[in-house]
Structure 1
Amino acid sequence: MFIKKLEKEFGNKFIIDDRTITEFSTSPYLVSPVLSKMGSRVLGVVSASDEQDVINTVKFCDENRIPLLARGAGTSTIGQVLPITPSIALDMRKLKGEMEYDKSLRISPGVKVLDALAYLRKRGKELQVYPSSFYISTLGGYIAGGDVGIGSYQYGYHFHNDGVKSVRVVGPSGTYVLSGIETLAVSQAAGVTGVITEAELAVVDLEDWKDQLIRFRDIEDVVALLKDLERYRQKIRRITVEDKDALSTVARDRVTAGDWNVIISSTQNFGEEVELRFLDELAFAAIYVTMSKLTKFQQYFYEVRLLSLGSFLRVVKQVKRALGSKVLIHGDVMTLRGETIVYTVFMSERSNFDLIDSIMLKEGIPFEIHSLEVNDRVDEDFRLELMKKYKQKVDPHNILNPGKLRL
Structure 2
Amino acid sequence: MEEVLLKKLEREFGTAFTTDDKIVTEYSKSPYLVSPILSKMGKRALGVLYLEDEEEIKNALNICDYYRIPVVARGAGTSTIGQVLPIKESIIFDIKMKEKMEFEDNWIKLSSSVRVKNALEYLRKRGKELRVYPSSFYISIMGGYIAGGDVGIGSFQYGYHFDGNGIKSIKIVGPFQEYTLEGKDTLAVAQAAGTTGIITEAEVATIDYEDWKDQLIAVNELDEVVKILKNLSQIRDKVRRITIEDSNAFSLVGKNRVDKIGRWNVMVASTLSLGEEVNLKFLDELAFAAIYVTMSKLTNFKEYFYEVRLLPLSSFSKVVSEVKNALKDKVLIHGDVMTLRGETVIYTVFMSEKQNFDLIDSIMVKEGIPFEIHSIEVNDRVDEEFRLELMKKYKNIVDPHNILNPGKLRC
1:192 partner SS:
coil
Alignment partners' CA distance in 2, 1:277 and 1:346: 23
Shift of 1:111: 0.5
Q: Does 1:78 align with 2:84?
A: no
| 1:231-268 deviation per Cα after TM superposition (whole angstroms, max 9, x unaligned) | 11000000011111111111113222101110000001
1:169 partner SS:
strand
Which region of structure 1 is more displaced relative to structure 2, 148-157 or 104-113? 104-113
Question: Could you tell me which amino acid in structure 2 is paired with residue 371 of structure 1?
Answer: S
Alignment partners' CA distance in 1, 2:370 and 2:396: 27
Which region of structure 1 is more displaced relative to structure 2, 4-13 or 274-283? 274-283
Cα contact 2:5–2:64 (8 A) shared by 1? no
Equivalence for 1:195: 198
Alignment partners' CA distance in 2, 1:7 and 1:273: 57
Alignment partners' CA distance in 2, 1:331 and 1:174: 42
| 1:259-287 deviation per Cα after TM superposition (whole angstroms, max 9, x unaligned) | 11100000011111011242124310111
Return the match for 2:104 from 79, 88, 102.
102
Shift of 1:299: 0.4
Alignment partners' CA distance in 2, 1:304 and 1:318: 16
Equivalence for 2:336: 332
Shift of 1:57: 1.2
| 1:212-249 deviation per Cα after TM superposition (whole angstroms, max 9, x unaligned) | 11111110111011011111100000001111111111
The 3 A distance-change label for structure 1 pair 131 and 49 is: same
Question: Could you tell me which amino acid in structure 2 is paired with residue 83 of structure 1?
Answer: P
| 1:158-186 deviation per Cα after TM superposition (whole angstroms, max 9, x unaligned) | 11121111001011251111011110100
Cα contact 2:156–2:236 (8 A) shared by 1? yes
Equivalence for 2:65: 62
- The 5-angstrom pairing of residues 279-290 of structure 1 reads 279-290=283-294
Cα contact 1:21–1:44 (8 A) shared by 2? yes
Shift of 1:369: 6.2
Question: Could you tell me which amino acid in structure 2 is paired with residue 314 of structure 1?
Answer: K
Q: Does 1:381 align with 2:385?
A: yes
Alignment partners' CA distance in 2, 1:19 and 1:148: 34
Structure 2 residue runs without a partner (length 5+):
none
Equivalence for 2:158: 155
Return the match for 2:277 from 273, 292, 295.
273
Q: Does 1:321 align with 2:325?
A: yes
Shift of 1:199: 0.3
Question: Could you tell me which amino acid in structure 2 is paired with residue 88 of structure 1?
Answer: I
Alignment partners' CA distance in 1, 2:205 and 2:50: 29
Q: Does 1:127 align with 2:130?
A: yes
Equivalence for 1:182: 185
Question: Could you tell me which amino acid in structure 2 is paired with residue 121 of structure 1?
Answer: R
Shift of 1:322: 0.6
Cα contact 1:173–1:394 (8 A) shared by 2? no
1:278 partner SS:
helix
Name the TM-score, length of structure 1 as normaliser.
0.98
- The 5-angstrom pairing of residues 2-401 of structure 1 reads 2-93=5-96, 95-103=97-105, 104-172=107-175, 174-255=177-258, 256-366=260-370, 368=372, 370-401=374-405
1:41 partner SS:
coil
Alignment partners' CA distance in 1, 2:371 and 2:30: 22
Which region of structure 1 is more displaced relative to structure 2, 8-17 or 154-163? 8-17
| Percent of pairs with identical residues | 67
| 1:83-129 deviation per Cα after TM superposition (whole angstroms, max 9, x unaligned) | 00100111112x10211111211011210001100000110100000
Cα contact 2:69–2:90 (8 A) shared by 1? yes
Cα contact 1:192–1:405 (8 A) shared by 2? yes
Question: Could you tell me which amino acid in structure 2 is paired with residue 102 of structure 1?
Answer: E
Question: Could you tell me which amino acid in structure 1 is paired with residue 100 of structure 2?
Answer: E
Which region of structure 1 is more displaced relative to structure 2, 397-406 or 37-46? 37-46
Alignment partners' CA distance in 2, 1:11 and 1:277: 44
1:247 partner SS:
helix
Question: Could you tell me which amino acid in structure 2 is paired with residue 214 of structure 1?
Answer: I
Question: Could you tell me which amino acid in structure 2 is paired with residue 386 of structure 1?
Answer: L
Cα contact 2:214–2:281 (8 A) shared by 1? no
2:113 partner SS:
coil
Cα contact 1:46–1:91 (8 A) shared by 2? yes
RMSD over aligned Cα, in angstroms? 1.1
